[in-house]
């Protein structure tokens, strides 16, 4: 059975994802930003909100600034939608796992291309006399 902070964290993630996609009118946060997870402290006073940005370094900086600016609004909206007396303080953290996964995929593709290149360089694969 999941504990209360896990259940509440899931609910906060769902609400914030909806707010970001439907209510937040900041062009720096658009369809290229998604809420990937929420870690809630045991006492429910702090929530680390993880988000992914699909874009370049400037898009990452823009999203970070937009979340900092919208923090109060999002917390107020969260308070009106959560079934809890306590609304956690929101801390937004970029989730870089997607970006790191893409980098690993690129490295693996490059290695495979090099292996294929080496095989074709050696010709038929039989030793020459």
Note whether 1 and 37 are within 8 A (CB). Answer: no
Instruction: Decide: pTM greater than 0.95.
Output: no
pLDDT at 1: 57
Both tokens of residue 17?
């994802």
Binned average pLDDT, 10 residues per bin, the chain of 129 residues: 82 94 86 90 93 88 94 94 90 84 78 77 55
Instruction: Tell whether domain 4-96 is in CATH 3.40.50.1100.
Output: no
What are the extents of the domains in the chain?
4-96
pLDDT for residue 61? 92
Q: Look up residue 64 and give its two tokens.
A: 């970070």
């Amino acid at each position: 059975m999941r504990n209360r902070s896990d259940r509440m964290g899931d609910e906060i993630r769902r609400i914030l994802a909806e707010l970001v996609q439907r209510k937040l009118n900041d062009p720096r946060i658009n369809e290229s930003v998604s809420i990937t997870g929420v870690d809630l402290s045991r006492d429910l006073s702090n929530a680390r909100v993880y988000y992914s940005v699909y874009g370049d370094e400037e898009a990452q900086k823009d999203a970070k600034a937009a979340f900092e600016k919208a923090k109060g609004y999002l917390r107020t909206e969260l308070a009106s939608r959560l079934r809890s007396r306590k609304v956690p303080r929101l801390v937004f953290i970029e989730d870089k796992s997607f970006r790191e996964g893409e980098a690993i995929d690129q490295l693996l593709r490059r290695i495979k291309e090099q292996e294929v290149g080496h095989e074709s360089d050696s010709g038929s694969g039989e030793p020459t006399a």
